[in-house]
Structure 1
């Protein structure tokens, strides 16, 4: 069997591969991290390799990040035991096994998504700076954490130490608090906020979630 026409689908081990679909090479492959497109699938007696799995032909995009180019060249040089440059590395119609690629979300369909809540913290004090980020699946848990962090700063942290200053300033709403010394914001401030962020759900994640719920 040979598939080449756009949109043709082939299922293997619970994953659907589509001609024209976008993929990313996994760490099993020398092309790790590269983005590509499936251009052909061969299975059965039409396989060109001796693998027991289908041959999935991908055309990869030329990497644009210098570090990614260097990583690719090093991987191929080590594999072939001779120096290889980007110009020596085939990117078109490359045969990949299923474990060498991960199928990305179909961009022609509306992405399935949910919301996550992000607690962001940023501060500066006496020449020291810091920040933190915490992710939550539920608003209530995220807001509890934000309030707990703020209460700690009010009771025994940065805000407690500066709120008696004459130029102490505050701005806030239900999910946001920011305090600073007027005219010295870069050197002295504290900010914590709660934000809702959409999270796109991949097919592989939904499959694993369904499998875990079925156990």
Structure 2
């Protein structure tokens, strides 16, 4: 028998700790998928209101603000209940969730472990056609090698080769940046590569998975 209500009280299920006041996101195992909420109560044993073998975790969800999310939620509950449902018909407070229906999010008052990642951005336009790409790297050397390889290809047989003989051809560059364009026609003809370092915030669940992988 167990009922937890006071802020900070913890309950462990499997390898996950669920604490009163923790922020959670509903998983794809729940009709509330994607919604953010807060754990407000945990019950186990004979104090459970459900017949589940897992603890009952009571969550109060924030009202969704993205129109597509609201539409999806209304559609899911309309199918579940067999009658049309609007957001006002759907309970968001003290919803009983099973552990696999929620993911506990990192406490934002506690600094997250960080690692640097390198983001390689490509952007181009050619006679009205345009596109972009994004690549992520854990090491600068590999990111820069890819950047140089992509630039060489454009210089040898791509867009830059085709436009560099133009009288208005312009270039701007540094170690981690290259941009070429036709002066006065940038919107229609340009090629850009940029390499930028950004922080990657590491969650506890990711670090646990990483540790498990390294142990094998």
Query: Shared fold (TM-score greater than 0.5)?
Result: yes
Deviation at 1:80, TM superposition (A): 1.0
For the aligned residue pairs, the C-alpha RMSD in angstroms reads 0.8
User: After the TM superposition, which residues 59-208 of structure 1 pair with which residues of structure 2 at under 5 Å, given as runs?
Assistant: 59-208=60-209
The Cα offsets for residues 16-61 of structure 1, whole Å up to 9 and x where unpaired, read as 1111111000111110110000011111221111111111000000
Cα distance between partner residues in 2 of 1:191 and 1:172: 9
Secondary structure of the structure 2 residue equivalent to 1:180: strand
Q: Gapped runs of 5+ residues in structure 1?
A: none
Give secondary structure in 2 for the equivalent of 1:49.
coil
The alignment's TM-score, normalised by the length of structure 1, stands at 0.98
Tell which deviates more after alignment, 203-212 or 55-64: 203-212
Shift of 1:179: 0.6
1:31 aligns with: 32
Q: Give the drift of 1:197.
A: 1.2
Aligned mates of 1:29, 1:205 — CA distance in 2 = 22
**Residue-by-residue CA offset, 1:117-144 (whole Å, 9 max, x unaligned):** 1110001111110111111111111110
Q: Matches of 2:189 and 2:71 in 1, distance apart?
A: 41
**Residue 7 of structure 1: how far off its partner (Å):** 1.2
1:3 aligns with 2:4: yes
Q: What is the rounded CA distance, in whole Å, between the counterparts of 2:174 and 2:146 in structure 1? A: 16
Q: Please, which runs of 5 or more residues in structure 2 have no aligned partner?
A: none
How many aligned residue pairs are there? 215
The match for 1:211 is 212
Query: Structure 1 CA distance, aligned partners of 2:69 and 2:142?
Result: 38
1:17 aligns to what SS in structure 2? strand
Between the aligned partners of 2:86 and 2:128, the Cα distance in structure 1 is 45
User: Once superposed, which parts of structure 1, at least 4 consecutive aligned residues long, lie more than 2 Å away?
Assistant: none
Q: TM-score, normalised by structure 2?
A: 0.97
SS at match of 1:150: helix
> What residue in structure 1 maps to residue 20 of structure 2?
19
